Structures are given as structure tokens and as C-alpha cells.
Amino acid sequence: MINLSLKSLNQGLVKKKFSSLELTQFFLNRVEKHNSDINAFISIDAEKSLTQAKHADALIQSGQNSLLTGIPVAQKDIFCSAGWRTTCGSLMLDNFISPYDATVIQKFNEVGAVNLGKTNMDEFAMGSSNETSYYGSVKNPWDLSLVPGGSSGGSAAAIAARLAPAATGTDTGGSIRQPASLCGFTGLKPTYGLVSRFGMIAFASSLDQAGPMAPSAEDCAALLNVMAGYDEKDSTSINHEKEDYLANLDEPIKGLRIGVPKEFFEKGLDGSVQKVIEAALMSYKKMGAELVDISLPNTHLAIPVYYVIAPAEASSNLSRYDGVRYGYRAKEYDDLMEMYFKTRQEGFGEEVKRRILIGTYVLSAGYYDAYYLKAQKIRKLISDDFKKAFEKCDVIMGPSAPSVAFKANEKKSDPLAMYLQDIYTISTNLAGLPGMSIPAGMIENLPVGLQLIGNYFKESQMLNIAHAFQKETDWHTRMPDGVS
């Protein structure tokens, strides 16, 4: 069961080899057995999940089913889900029961998918290792002493350990692609605006984007078919023509121009990772693709630009958590101002408070022009670099992360070292481009991810390119030792 693709699971349901009720119970049992070791899930509600499964079985029986009907999907705990506790990995929202569904959740509900549970994450999606969650660190199923990456680390660990056949994540600076690399599966950050952000708890509004996480490109295509679409409730949603991302998966890639940016292979990249990435590029060359040298000269500015813009937006977005309307409130205080101070002091973790302080500083009078405005100007230069690059190539490839998964607590006390884990992914968020990570090899039994960066709304092409690689290799089918 854990080796089956979404298409195979669908066929099993349609042919009555098993029911959605049985399938959902199977994965609930796996979560119950393994979650105490991995800590991938924050909230499980078996009754709600099984009720959805019964409804899915009725849809299948009546012939009103689609590809994902009856299939359990783990949802990152950043998506509001009606009747479910929605925490965003924070004490601040520990007692928050959402009264409505995020559009992403609504879309899965409409096709009859089953919400398997809410996955652990870095607090308010701020982190690259899933060590900032109020609910404890997530462990990497490949080695429990290592981190799974973040902030979508719970979803990543759930897929790697096969606690769920698929999951959702969000990517603000690499939070789908980096954990996909560290945990050995396929993760896609769509073009900004392709997937609705309504009901997705905001970290940095101009950077956040939801996307699919699953073992293969084919599975991600099936998930994106459900997730993508214009939403009038989201002011950042783009009215892009609806596509079928499964339709062109098997198109030949001969003649494909792959841009290889020299800046992705300079100081900072682990030598063993570089060899794996270069071998993957050679595989594409054997399939008929052409490798083109390109340059993204402002790549080195992506980290400082991101850590001005993202904290600035976080400072604004998180101002709503003050203990007045909902969420955590300090127990002891003498007046309203002290309630504000104590609530935010106690309710937020250290990384969140650090970013709020940075963001407030760069937006303050006297510093706005020097930091925030300048960062936005450089953001435009980074975007222009990609536009020039895509004149020479169809897709850009390089590493998803500078190293394989690292030890828990190894970088926790060094924020800069942690921030540099996203050096290859952040620039795509700043430009609003789609990015993707696929398994490309192993180093001492740890996965390495190859990153694909496409032009705007080229998700279909990227999935085709990824699928071509996965037809020739088996890296995406590898599972951690002991997973069965």
C-alpha cells in the first residue's frame, strides 16, 4: 500500500480492492504507530477523517469520483480547516479551532479527498529545520538524529516515512523544496498567485505560496490539478487559464535547453552534493537535453534581501496576535498594555520574535529607505536576472540545498548558518517563479535534491521534465531503512 502512486490508489478504490475507509484507517494506524518517533503530525482527528472517507466511498459507489476521491492527504497546519485545531506550530494559536476552510482545503474537500491530519511545522513557517515548532522538533525518517528541513518538515517527514501518500506544504523561501531535498521526495512551489492563499496563515504575503508534496512528479501533478485555480477571495490570486498538469507528462524532452547558473556551484556547496547534481545533469544530456551556461549575478544578494522583506511583512502580519480577539492570552497582567506585551512575549517563540524585531526595525522611520526600499529595488534586479536567463534556456537546474540533512541543534544557535540553507531557493520566491525539487541521488544513505526553476506558469513543463528523469531513475522510489 505504501508503495502505490496516487493513480494506483485511485484504481484500487475504483476497482473495489479496498475502500477509502480501509485506506484511511491504514494510514491512521501508521501515524499512530510511528508519529511518536517522528513527530510529523500535530493534530489527528480519526473520527473526522473516517467520516470523510465514508462520504468518499459513497461518491465512488455513485460514480461521482475523481482521481483524489477517497485518498488521504496530510495538510500542513498552516491551512485553516473548519472544526480542526489550526496552530501554525505556535503556542499563540494552540487553542484556535478554525471556523472555516482555506480555499486549498475546500478544493480537496470538493473532490472527496480525506484530511488525514495537520502536520507539524516551524512556528509561523519561520525556519529551515523544523526545530522552532512549539510542538517539538520533527525528525528525519532517514536518520532520526537529523532534521527534515523546514518549514514544511512535518509534511516532508510524513511522506518520507509513508505516513501519508501525499501532503501539502507552503514555500516562502524554500520551505517545500529544501525539505523535499533533505527527505527524498518531490516538492513543487508554484508560480506566485497560481494557488489561493485564502485561509493560509500569512508569514510574508508577497512570498508565501502553497504547493504539493509527494513521492513523484506524477503525484504532484495530480495534487496541483486540485490546488491551482483563481480565487476571488484572494487579492493575490492570478486568473490563469486552468490546466491539466497530468496531460503532458510523457512529452519528449529532446532539445530542452537547461540553464546551469555558475553562481549555484561556487563556494558553499558541498562537494559531494555537487557531484550528484552534475551526474543528474549528465542524465538529462543523455536524454537529449542541452546544457547552457548562464549567470544569475545577484544570487548572492538574495539572502540579505529576503531577510529584510520577509521579516518586514511578518512584523505586519503577526501584529494581529495580541491576545484580544483569539488565540493565546497571558494569564496575569495589570492593564491592557501589559497584556499585549506578556501575550506576545509568552506566545511567540524565539525565532518569530527575532524576525518581528528585525521587520519592525527595517520598517521604522529613518530606516525604511535604507533597508526595506533598497531591498525591494534589489528584488527587481534578481527578477530581471531570471528574465535574461530564460532568453537562453527553457528551465534552470541546480542544487536544492547546499548539503544533505544536518544534525538536530547543529545550526539552531547560529541563525545566519540556518538562513544560508535556503541560498538556492530564496531567489525564486523573490521573483515569484515556480521551483521544484526532485530526488537525484544519495550520499551515505541520505537524499540529495535537484532543483528545477521554470518561467512563470511553466509548471506543466517542469512536471514533464521531472517525470522524464523519474522514468529513467528510481531515486524517488527509495525509502528510509525500516519503513514498511
DSSP annotation of 455: S
3-state secondary structure 270-323: CHHHHHHHHHHHHHHHHCCCEEEEECCCCHHHHHHHHHHHHHHHHHHHHHHCCC
Within 13 A of 205's CA, how many CA atoms are on the CB side? Answer: 12
Which entry of 151, 181, 315, 437 is annotated as an active-site residue?
151
In the set 20, 43, 49, 76, the catalytic residue is 76
- 62 in Cβ contact with 93 (< 8 Å): no
User: Which H helix or E strand runs over 212?
Assistant: strand 209-214
Phi, psi (degrees; rounded to nearest 5) at 185: -145, -175
State how far the alpha carbon of 81 is from the alpha carbons of 44, 66, 88, 100, 140, in Å.
12, 21, 12, 6, 26
Q: Can you say how many angstroms the Cα of residue 325 is from the centroid of all Cα atoms in its chain?
A: 29
SS3 content of the chain, % helix, strand, coil (to 5): 45, 15, 45
Q: How far is Cα 163 from Cα 2, in angstroms, rounded to an integer? A: 8
| Catalytic one of 175, 216, 437, 460 | 175
388 noted as active-site residue: no
H/E segment holding residue 260: strand 257-261
Could you confirm whether 76 is annotated as catalytic?
A: yes
How would DSSP label each residue in 309-361? HHHHHHHHHGGG-SSSSSS---S--SSHHHHHHHHHHHHS-HHHHHHHHHHHH
Q: Is 175 a catalytic residue?
A: yes
**Active site residues per annotation:** 76, 151, 175
